[in-house]
Structure 1
Amino acid sequence: MVYVYELDPATECYALTGIHHDRLKVSVPYDIEIDLTRVGRRGM
Protein backbone atom coordinates (compact mmCIF):
# COMPACT_ATOMS: atom_id res chain seq x y z
CA MET A 1 0.00 0.00 0.00
CA VAL A 2 1.29 3.47 -0.92
CA TYR A 3 0.00 6.76 0.42
CA VAL A 4 0.52 9.76 -1.90
CA TYR A 5 0.70 13.32 -0.63
CA GLU A 6 0.96 16.61 -2.49
CA LEU A 7 2.12 19.96 -1.17
CA ASP A 8 -0.70 22.51 -1.17
CA PRO A 9 0.91 25.85 -2.08
CA ALA A 10 -1.86 27.85 -0.42
CA THR A 11 -1.48 26.25 3.02
CA GLU A 12 2.11 25.01 2.64
CA CYS A 13 0.93 21.69 4.10
CA TYR A 14 0.84 18.24 2.59
CA ALA A 15 -2.56 16.76 1.74
CA LEU A 16 -3.39 13.12 1.00
CA THR A 17 -4.18 12.70 -2.70
CA GLY A 18 -4.49 8.94 -2.91
CA ILE A 19 -4.07 5.49 -1.39
CA HIS A 20 -2.89 2.87 -3.86
CA HIS A 21 -3.13 -0.88 -3.20
CA ASP A 22 -2.36 -2.77 -6.43
CA ARG A 23 -1.16 -0.10 -8.85
CA LEU A 24 0.47 3.27 -8.26
CA LYS A 25 -0.32 5.68 -11.09
CA VAL A 26 0.32 9.43 -10.75
CA SER A 27 1.04 12.30 -13.12
CA VAL A 28 2.60 14.82 -10.70
CA PRO A 29 5.48 15.64 -10.65
CA TYR A 30 5.77 13.27 -13.64
CA ASP A 31 3.89 10.33 -15.14
CA ILE A 32 4.67 7.05 -13.40
CA GLU A 33 2.89 3.73 -13.12
CA ILE A 34 4.06 0.88 -10.87
CA ASP A 35 2.49 -2.53 -10.43
CA LEU A 36 2.65 -2.80 -6.63
CA THR A 37 1.80 -6.51 -6.72
CA ARG A 38 5.24 -7.12 -8.29
CA VAL A 39 7.32 -4.99 -5.92
CA GLY A 40 9.77 -7.08 -3.91
CA ARG A 41 9.16 -10.29 -5.86
CA ARG A 42 12.16 -12.21 -7.14
CA GLY A 43 12.46 -13.23 -10.77
CA MET A 44 10.53 -10.30 -12.22
Structure 2
Amino acid sequence: MYVYELDPATGAYALMGIHHDKLRLSVPFEIDIDLTEIDGL
Protein backbone atom coordinates (compact mmCIF):
# COMPACT_ATOMS: atom_id res chain seq x y z
CA MET A 1 0.00 0.00 0.00
CA TYR A 2 1.33 3.41 -0.95
CA VAL A 3 0.75 6.28 1.51
CA TYR A 4 0.71 9.87 0.29
CA GLU A 5 0.46 13.12 2.22
CA LEU A 6 -0.56 16.54 0.94
CA ASP A 7 2.33 19.02 1.03
CA PRO A 8 0.78 22.39 1.91
CA ALA A 9 3.74 24.30 0.44
CA THR A 10 3.38 22.82 -3.06
CA GLY A 11 -0.25 21.69 -2.99
CA ALA A 12 0.89 18.31 -4.34
CA TYR A 13 0.81 14.86 -2.78
CA ALA A 14 4.15 13.30 -1.82
CA LEU A 15 4.89 9.64 -1.17
CA MET A 16 5.34 9.09 2.56
CA GLY A 17 5.78 5.31 2.63
CA ILE A 18 5.19 1.90 1.09
CA HIS A 19 3.70 -0.78 3.35
CA HIS A 20 3.64 -4.48 2.52
CA ASP A 21 2.48 -6.47 5.56
CA LYS A 22 1.25 -3.90 8.07
CA LEU A 23 -0.10 -0.37 7.78
CA ARG A 24 0.32 1.73 10.92
CA LEU A 25 -0.26 5.49 10.80
CA SER A 26 -1.07 8.22 13.30
CA VAL A 27 -1.76 11.09 10.84
CA PRO A 28 -4.41 12.16 9.87
CA PHE A 29 -5.87 9.58 12.29
CA GLU A 30 -4.60 6.48 14.05
CA ILE A 31 -4.90 3.31 11.99
CA ASP A 32 -3.35 -0.15 12.30
CA ILE A 33 -4.20 -2.72 9.62
CA ASP A 34 -2.69 -6.16 9.04
CA LEU A 35 -2.51 -6.14 5.23
CA THR A 36 -1.86 -9.90 5.10
CA GLU A 37 -5.43 -10.50 6.35
CA ILE A 38 -7.15 -8.61 3.53
CA ASP A 39 -7.21 -11.64 1.20
CA GLY A 40 -9.25 -13.51 3.81
CA LEU A 41 -12.09 -10.98 3.82
As a proportion of its length, which structure holds more helix? 2
The runs of 4+ residues in structure 1 deviating greater than 3 Å are: none
TM-score (norm 2): 0.93
Gaps of 5+ in 1: none
- Give the aligned length: 41
Deviation at 1:40, TM superposition (A): 2.6
- The secondary structure found in structure 2 opposite 1:10 is coil
Deviation at 1:24, TM superposition (A): 0.4
RMSD value over aligned CA atoms?
A: 0.9
